């Protein structure tokens, strides 16, 4: 019996295309699209792109000022909780910062880092409210859940100027840092 190579190669190529196409279609329709819809409907989200892999969900977001990040992530975990049990959420938020907002964050970052290192998280809102009281034209807020501390800085006069900082409560693996929570 002589095996003809052309039909074998064509069959293998078609099988590979069907398997990879099926996985891509499943990932797009069953995993990524529902998450994108939840994020797009959340108040203050201009756009959302989602890339889900085996270990993580990368959320690329373009946000307006004063979006409740903790609430958004909580709603996402509530709606799609099973998906995020084995995957970490990585937020990539478009930076609409200004030099003044960057200067405010630079002023606050040392105190925030100190509070994170000493696990005295109540120092963070106190530090931020002190800085905000000295700079009335800016809004500075913080929030916390079991995974992250969320810091939002925005301009009261320019509704498009904002900066979001997401600080993990646990040290990143491989950085030599100690777990923080």
- List, as one string, the DSSP characters of 5-58: HHHHHHHHHHHHHHHHHHHHHHIIIIIIHHHHHHHHHSTTEEEEEEEE-SSEEE
What is this structure's pTM? 0.77
Domain ranges of the chain: 97-181
Place of tokens 């925005």: 154
Q: What does the alpha-carbon distance between residue 161 and residue 163 come to, in Å, rounded to a whole number? A: 7
Residues recorded for the chain: 181
- 3-class SS at 3? coil
Average pLDDT, the chain: 86
Model confidence pLDDT, tens digit, residues 27-66? 777 778 888 999 999 999 999 999 988 888 899 999 998 8
**For position 92, what pLDDT does the model report?**
93
The C-alpha R_g of the chain, in whole angstroms, comes to 22
**For position 13, what pLDDT does the model report?**
86
Q: Which of 2-6, 36-40, 132-136, 177-181 has the lowest mean pLDDT?
A: 177-181
Q: Is the dihedral of CA 38, 139, 145, 178 positive or negative?
A: positive
């Amino acid at each position: 019996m002589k095996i003809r190579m052309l039909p074998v190669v064509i069959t293998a190529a078609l099988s590979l295309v069907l398997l990879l196409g099926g996985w891509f279609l499943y990932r797009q329709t069953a995993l990524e699209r529902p998450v994108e819809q939840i994020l797009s409907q959340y108040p203050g989200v201009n756009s959302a792109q989602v890339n889900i892999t085996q270990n993580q969900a990368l959320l690329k977001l373009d946000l307006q000022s004063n979006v409740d990040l903790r609430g958004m992530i909580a709603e996402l975990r509530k709606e799609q909780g099973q998906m995020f049990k084995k995957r970490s959420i990585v937020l990539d938020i478009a930076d609409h910062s200004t030099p003044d907002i960057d200067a405010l964050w630079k002023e606050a970052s040392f105190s925030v880092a100190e509070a994170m290192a000493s696990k005295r998280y109540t120092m963070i809102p106190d530090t931020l409210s002190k800085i905000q009281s000295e700079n009335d034209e800016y809004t500075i807020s913080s929030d916390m859940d079991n995974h992250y501390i969320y810091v939002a800085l925005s301009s009261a006069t320019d509704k498009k100027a904002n900066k979001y900082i997401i600080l993990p409560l646990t040290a990143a693996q491989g950085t030599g840092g100690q777990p923080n929570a």
